[in-house]
A = this chain, B = another copy of it.
């Protein structure tokens, strides 16, 4: 029984609660002190595009703090295919702090650099720096929230809905990494990477982008450069809200086959 509950109004469509910047502390990322503490025991590494930072099953032993660039983490399935698990932007922390071996592989999508933090040294620091421990716990919870969003994204059955959510997710990530609200967004990953992440075929992703552009929600300047031109419509897709009377410009994302010869 689909009890059509009324929309829980609260801001522009919820999703996972945006982090309310607890207590006015640092919005995101580590404090300067914490960052310094980590840098003190870390080595800095630069990497080129396409480089593997680490591979699943390699013994772990390090935590990684991304300084520049974009790194994707992914799992390799028994049949050889891969599933994108996360995209990391500057200031993101990835790798296992506690596990024996890496559960995922990490690959650079664009050139960049990172801090490589040895776990033993980290543990030593943690014993005398409870604050850093709390900071790490917070970062882990942040990542957990990211995964929740990813989970919800994958829960969507329709391709455009997934891609719409992905766009929102990407915007959030880019925005927090470099706190700019530039209109143009860049996709550092290929359609295939996106497909892996959102659980669709790359063709479906391509079609979804095309549809979003056709409906005036996105505008592409190049294959990987675009901007959101109708944020309300995008949010409606994310919220899975049918174009109610509330919407002035009604774009019907589905149900109308574009060039469907079917």
Chain A residues packing against B (C-beta within 8 Å): 2-8, 10, 13-17, 19-20, 22, 56-57, 75-83, 85, 96-101, 103-104, 123, 126-128, 130-131, 133-134, 136-138, 140-141, 143-145, 147-148, 150-152, 154-158, 161, 199-201, 204, 239-242, 254-262
Contacts and interface: CB of A to CB of B under 8 A. Distances in A.
In the complex, which of the residues A131, A147, A204 has the most CB atoms of chain B within 10 Å of its own CB atom?
A147
Nearest to A123: B134
Given A22-B100, A75-B16, A240 B256 contact: no
28 contacts: A2-B80, A2-B82, A4-B82, A5-B80, A16-B103, A17-B99, A17-B103, A22-B98, A22-B99, A22-B100, A75-B148, A78-B240, A78-B241, A83-B155, A85-B148, A96-B141, A97-B137, A99-B145, A123-B134, A127-B130, A137-B140, A151-B151, A157-B258, A158-B258, A158-B259, A199-B256, A200-B256, A201-B255
A242 B262 contact: yes
A9 to B, nearest CB: 9
B152 A77 contact: yes
